[in-house]
Structure 1
Amino acid sequence: MVVCGDDGLAHRLTAELRGVYGEQVTLVVPPSERGVRTQVVGRARATTAALLDRVVNATVNRAGGAAAGPAGTSQVMAAAEPTEEVLGAAGVERAAALALVYDDDETNIRAALTARRLNPRLRLVLRLYNRRLGQYIEELLDQAAALATGGADGAGSDASTTVLSDADTAAPALVATAVAGTSKVVQTDGLLLRAVERTPMAGQLAQPGLATLALLSADGADNGGEQGPELLPDAAAVRAATGRGTVVLEQVSYAGPELPPARGAVAFASLFSRRLRWSLAGLAGCVLALAVALWVVTGTHPLSAFYLTLLDLFAIDDPAIGASVGRQILQLLSGLTGLLLLPVLLAAVLEALGTFRTASALRKPPRGLSGHVVLLGLGKIGTRVLTRLRELRIPVVCVESDPEARGLATARRLRVPVVLGDVTQEGVLEAAKIHRAHALLAVTSVDTTNLEAALYARSVRPDLRTVLRLYDDDFATAVYRTLRAAHPRASTRSRSVTHLAAPAFAGAMMGRQILGAIPVERHVLLFAAVDVGGHAQLEGRTVAEAFRPGAWRVLALDTAAASGGRREEPAAEEAYDDLPGSGLVWDLPDTYVLRATDRVVLAATRTGLAELLGRRPPERALLGAAGPRPPLRP
């Protein structure tokens, strides 16, 4: 694997590939790390080295450590730009995958075009913020690979091109942290799935979720032997594990109020203010009372009495000369009411015009709003988080200090309330109804602003769930520990975008089928989307026969991948569960036969997935943890 970048994401990605997947990595970074925070990059390098040392030590200390996988090897190259000579020296011609994660889109595109020419079968992963341009570049590079390898299908999946954005990949984890308090999530088919540890009472079984992923160690630590965690256990092992903690998979859900249904027209309540509506109602009552009084006094027909009252109200020339005193008094009162009606009608017209004029402008938080998420910052990350929150139908109130922020157009299009103002100023968070909010997501690009907002929110609501985006890992750790110590009953999380985005980039480098990875003590479970066709362990077998405890397990069936969007029933006498909002079918019957046209989502260990996909493990895995390590490539 080759990783080229100029910020902390490159170092995070290298650590992920080596520590989780055990791959050999060549890291290409600028010699002076110009344009980035040098202290953070230095800490990222130290974190990378420390993590890899822990992985190597853990592998050496475990006898027969194939379950966790071996640690990879890597080398670091210094280069100002990823030119053809630099890519050649990094071994792109012989590499399996290349990640281009520079902060500049043009640099990544230029290097990707060069790398595709050097190695048509190379798996490319690009970091681009412009998603539409990324789609065009992805199609262009895939077509170039297909032509270079002699046919539309000649390149195969190994020559795939994947365009990712750190904002897009980090947004689901940030949303899950704000909604459910965890970032250990896997995103598939529009769903957010999380791994949850459940500890039952003594002598009882833990509550099952969508699937049981692992049985935790009896003493809470991975000591090996019978005390270690049991990954992907079968039903018999789960039933026998009374009183033992489990890791189950469940969908991330939101317990607060959902968004109201969308309305095509402006409602009457939002067209006129409450005070104006009461004024109109009072005047209408006065007109009705005058009409009834005229009917009683003069004895005319009720419709004629109402008509005469309206004539008097609008000052139409019909004086009551020669009429009774009661009729003349009522005419004077009607004229006076008409004078009061004029300013009310003018105010109604102005309010209606203002409502329609601001229908496409920024909304204000409605009265009585509660259980919402306060999103601080509408930059690159905040815009993606806002879109994801609205897809989950979670009410949001945004706070932004820059009236020219890129996310304001998205907020206006989605009809999301926005408070324009500096969060450091008093009253801004109060305007966002922070005292009745479900969570605070501070994702601005300034660490101190996020910290100040979190501390102020804590003073208003000590139990508020708070999620901070902090660039510096050491700073984030210190803030997290201090806030947890000061508010032990509150949920506080500090997240780095590069830390959240690295697993997605690493999964793309391993192949498009990798959806994510979730740690279980010292082990890792991978989630992958696999086509059944071509895999003898899956094709033609039932779900029960395809399940191999400790290696892989079929979790769901992707019905959206079926031809024509239709699929036969798994079994005539058995039903299955389909989560709303997705094409994934869960709780498949054990008797369902997997067909070549099916596409399944499965959980697997690293060695199990390597065996299933036919990927030969590195030579050092066959030699064992204590065996000789292969030399670094020049």
Structure 2
Amino acid sequence: MEGSCAGWRGHIIVCGLDDVGLRTVEQLHLAGVRIVVVEDDADARLVRVVRGWGVPVVVGSPRLVETLGEAGLPGAVAVICVLGDDLHTIEAALLTRENRPDIRIVVQLRNAAVGRALSALSISVLDVAGLSTPSLVEACLRTGTHELDLDGTRFVAAQTVADFTGPLRSRYGALAPLAVTSADGLEIEVCPGRDHVVRPGDVVTLLGTAPELEDAGLNSDTTVAASARPNWLRRKLHVAQTVLTAVDRRLAYALGALFFLLVTAMVVLRLGYREPDGTRMTLLDAGYFAVETIGTVGFGDFYFRDQPSWLRGFAIALMILGVLLATSFYALLTNTLVSIRLQEAMGRRRLTQLTGHVVVAGLGSVGVRVVERLHGAGLDVVVIEHDESCRYADQVRDLGIPVIFADATLPRTLDRVQLAEARAVAVLTSDDLVNLETGLAIRDQLGERASDVPVVLRLFDRTLAATVERNFNLGLARSTAALAAPWFVGAALGLDVIATFYVSSQLMLVGRLTVAPGGGLDGLAMQDLSARTRVVAISRAEGELEHPPRRNTRFSAGDKAYLIGPYEELLQVLRRDDRTQPLGHPLRRRVADPRPHG
């Protein structure tokens, strides 16, 4: 079968079969698109799965023009490069561009500088970490809202709990319903009509502009609530508490002794010292002299030659004791400040006073993006990382965020980061088994608070993620590959993907589609689209944004339609509009997760 690909037309070539590559192939396959996979070092199990779908796999390097030719590059409409090595991805993309200047090329790349250079060559550059971060942060913060920018207009998808029985339109009017999740969380209705009947306890996700949501009594704020933000006073108190907990007890003793000596000297000088005219030293003068003596400054303002012998002896003792105590205090203070700095540099700052923070386990490319976004939202963050040579550790420390190098599954480590006082936990290593083990350890450590603290797990396997949520009560499992794959598919097929986010366990895709002249959507009415797809706005050729469009509104060539729904449905809409796409096989509604287990 692989040998016949050279003569194919209208297909998509996917280079790479790990992580996002497998998910991309799966989604293209479900959408009925013809695909050829190119991989020179793929897992044999994954190759068997893909070939079981009827997708040919060309074994060879995508960095060779012969291999790309065998995959049918001359007749392909797009190439997706999702190789594990950035350098190999760059080579494959540049080689493809040289041989097919007109073809769509989509690449996965983590290096921003190189990505900008490739973008200048009309190559779409996507970063999995950046694409999946918003959904992971939303799961941590439980905001229940998703902000979307549609043609310059701010829309917000907000969740609310129904408190009535009746149709959606009776309470929410013209707001576009995206999903209704039953009170028990077992059933979800995607893109229901406004006549859909809800019951108390159902979770309703609605889309509208901020004013529309506020008119309906819904919160449109997608940022962290002000009460959740640490204010400046709390930050100052936290800094003071951190310093106090790090202070050596001997420093307090030295400071106390200095204060006692100062007070004693002021009293003695006030009562015993006499000016030449017989007047006593004022209290201010006594304090001034005591401080300059202890500080070894000695400006010669006061003379003791004519004072009683006992007072001259006291002055000598004051100088000696003052020097000894001041020197000890300076040494202990320096040691404390250096210790605090070293503890921060090593990620071991004492966190005993920290509350309402987010614990992030795993500081890879995804973890660092999540940490930066949480920090930007004004939240305290603590990072646990197993690898002391982590490349992102210094980047995070520069933000003032402590990094603890330890095993996140150990109770001692979790106690150290004040897990009992945390508001959320994100487990984001690149190993599914480690994430699952860490999540279970965190659940056990949280005890009764397990239901109140969201624990977000990064898992590759979509079926495993759903199973973990149902059976282990671990909170929210998110597949970064599943979140990112629709962006690659959409970019390859000509759909501008704007966002991906979860509604309960359903992954939703937000995309923009330009209606092709003479295509399947040209002249079609809204009501004739799939019931599981919601057209939330249409930008007409004249520049006018129509929101919300009516059911009998018809598409016209050149319109930009903004759609929301499951990615399978949106890809079917895209293929319906594109007359150049081969028909392929029909969309399959339900499939098992393709990743082999074992």
Fold in common (TM above 0.5): yes
Within the candidate set 101, 121, 124, 2:102 is matched to 121
- Helix, strand or coil: the match of 1:404? coil
Cα distance 1:365–1:122, how it changes in 2: closer, same or farther (>3 A)? farther
Match for residue 129 of structure 2? 167
Per the TM alignment, residue 349 of structure 1 is displaced from its structure 2 partner at its CA by 3.3
1:454 matched to 2:420? The reply is: no
Q: Cα deviation per residue 1:341-377 (whole Å; 9 max; x = unaligned)? A: 3311222234445667787664625442112111112
Match for residue 217 of structure 2? none
Segments of 5+ residues of structure 1 without an aligned counterpart are 50-73, 143-160, 485-490, 536-547, 563-569, 571-584, 591-598, 627-634
Match for residue 60 of structure 2? 80
Within the candidate set 404, 422, 441, 2:389 is matched to 404
The within-5 A match list for 1:171-250 is 171-180=133-142, 196=159, 198-203=161-166, 211-214=175-178, 216=180, 237=194, 243=199, 246-249=204-207
- Helix, strand or coil: the match of 1:449? helix
Q: Contact 1:28 / 1:78 at 8 angstroms: preserved in 2?
A: yes
Q: Contact 1:610 / 1:616 at 8 angstroms: preserved in 2?
A: no
- Helix, strand or coil: the match of 1:129? coil
Match for residue 150 of structure 1? none
Q: Contact 2:47 / 2:57 at 8 angstroms: preserved in 1?
A: no
Mapped to 2, the partners of 1:17 and 1:382 lie a distance apart of 28
Per the TM alignment, residue 295 of structure 1 is displaced from its structure 2 partner at its CA by 1.6
Q: Contact 1:362 / 1:415 at 8 angstroms: preserved in 2?
A: no
Mapped to 1, the partners of 2:354 and 2:80 lie a distance apart of 44
Mapped to 2, the partners of 1:411 and 1:260 lie a distance apart of 21
Q: Cα deviation per residue 1:476-508 (whole Å; 9 max; x = unaligned)? A: 555444422xxxxxx523333322321222232
Match for residue 454 of structure 2? 465
- Helix, strand or coil: the match of 1:15? helix
1:291 matched to 2:302? The reply is: no
Which amino acid in the other structure matches residue 75 of structure 1? V
Cα distance 1:354–1:296, how it changes in 2: closer, same or farther (>3 A)? same
Within the candidate set 472, 482, 486, 1:503 is matched to 486
Cα distance 1:530–1:334, how it changes in 2: closer, same or farther (>3 A)? farther
Which amino acid in the other structure matches residue 258 of structure 1? R
The within-5 A match list for 1:93-492 is 93-139=74-120, 141-142=121-122, 161-180=123-142, 196=159, 198-203=161-166, 211-214=175-178, 216=180, 237=194, 243=199, 246-249=204-207, 252-255=222-225, 257-258=228-229, 274=247, 276=251, 280=255, 283-284=258-259, 286-288=261-263, 290-298=265-273, 299-310=280-291, 313=294, 323=308, 332=317, 336=321, 338-352=323-337, 362=347, 364-462=349-447, 463=450, 464-472=453-461, 476=465, 478-484=467-473, 492=475
The within-5 A match list for 1:484-633 is 484=473, 492-511=475-494, 513-516=496-499, 526-529=509-512, 552-554=535-537, 602-604=562-564, 615-616=578-579
Per the TM alignment, residue 471 of structure 1 is displaced from its structure 2 partner at its CA by 4.2
Cα distance 1:296–1:181, how it changes in 2: closer, same or farther (>3 A)? same
Q: Cα deviation per residue 1:196-228 (whole Å; 9 max; x = unaligned)? A: 4744422485875995334659999999xxx98
Mapped to 2, the partners of 1:280 and 1:174 lie a distance apart of 48
Per the TM alignment, residue 425 of structure 1 is displaced from its structure 2 partner at its CA by 4.5
Q: Cα deviation per residue 1:3-40 (whole Å; 9 max; x = unaligned)? A: 22131422211222343xx3413131437x54x4x55x
Q: Contact 2:385 / 2:403 at 8 angstroms: preserved in 1?
A: yes
Per the TM alignment, residue 386 of structure 1 is displaced from its structure 2 partner at its CA by 2.1
Mapped to 2, the partners of 1:92 and 1:186 lie a distance apart of 38
The within-5 A match list for 1:19-30 is 19=30, 22-30=31-39
Per the TM alignment, residue 444 of structure 1 is displaced from its structure 2 partner at its CA by 2.0
Segments of 5+ residues of structure 2 without an aligned counterpart are 1-11, 208-219, 274-279, 519-530, 551-558, 589-598
- Helix, strand or coil: the match of 1:75? coil
- Helix, strand or coil: the match of 1:280? helix
Q: Contact 1:4 / 1:29 at 8 angstroms: preserved in 2?
A: yes
**TM-score w.r.t. structure 2 length?**
0.68
Which amino acid in the other structure matches residue 201 of structure 1? F
Q: Contact 1:257 / 1:395 at 8 angstroms: preserved in 2?
A: no
The percent of aligned pairs where both chains have the same amino acid is 23
Q: Cα deviation per residue 1:257-311 (whole Å; 9 max; x = unaligned)? A: 43566999x9888778555478537634651453144224442233432344346
Cα distance 1:195–1:603, how it changes in 2: closer, same or farther (>3 A)? farther
Q: Contact 1:6 / 1:30 at 8 angstroms: preserved in 2?
A: yes
Mapped to 2, the partners of 1:526 and 1:432 lie a distance apart of 36
Cα distance 1:291–1:519, how it changes in 2: closer, same or farther (>3 A)? closer
Cα distance 1:253–1:521, how it changes in 2: closer, same or farther (>3 A)? closer
Mapped to 1, the partners of 2:118 and 2:206 lie a distance apart of 38
Q: Contact 2:165 / 2:199 at 8 angstroms: preserved in 1?
A: yes
More displaced, 366-375 or 77-86? 77-86
Which amino acid in the other structure matches residue 325 of structure 2? L
Q: Give the CA RMSD over aligned residues.
A: 5.3
Mapped to 2, the partners of 1:521 and 1:340 lie a distance apart of 64
Q: Contact 1:527 / 1:601 at 8 angstroms: preserved in 2?
A: no
Per the TM alignment, residue 335 of structure 1 is displaced from its structure 2 partner at its CA by 5.0
Mapped to 2, the partners of 1:278 and 1:203 lie a distance apart of 71
Q: Contact 1:172 / 1:187 at 8 angstroms: preserved in 2?
A: no
**TM-score w.r.t. structure 1 length?**
0.65
Mapped to 2, the partners of 1:295 and 1:221 lie a distance apart of 78
Per the TM alignment, residue 411 of structure 1 is displaced from its structure 2 partner at its CA by 0.9
1:10 matched to 2:15? The reply is: no
Cα distance 1:512–1:338, how it changes in 2: closer, same or farther (>3 A)? farther
- Helix, strand or coil: the match of 2:472? helix
Which amino acid in the other structure matches residue 488 of structure 2? F
Mapped to 2, the partners of 1:218 and 1:380 lie a distance apart of 35
Match for residue 6 of structure 2? none
Match for residue 594 of structure 2? none
Mapped to 1, the partners of 2:230 and 2:49 lie a distance apart of 40
Cα distance 1:282–1:200, how it changes in 2: closer, same or farther (>3 A)? farther
Which amino acid in the other structure matches residue 73 of structure 2? V
Q: Contact 2:360 / 2:381 at 8 angstroms: preserved in 1?
A: yes
Q: Contact 2:295 / 2:323 at 8 angstroms: preserved in 1?
A: yes
Per the TM alignment, residue 438 of structure 1 is displaced from its structure 2 partner at its CA by 1.6
Match for residue 554 of structure 2? none
Which amino acid in the other structure matches residue 428 of structure 2? V
Q: Contact 2:159 / 2:205 at 8 angstroms: preserved in 1?
A: yes
Corresponding pairs, count: 515
Q: Cα deviation per residue 1:525-562 (whole Å; 9 max; x = unaligned)? A: 64235799999xxxxxxxxxxxx9976222999xxxx9
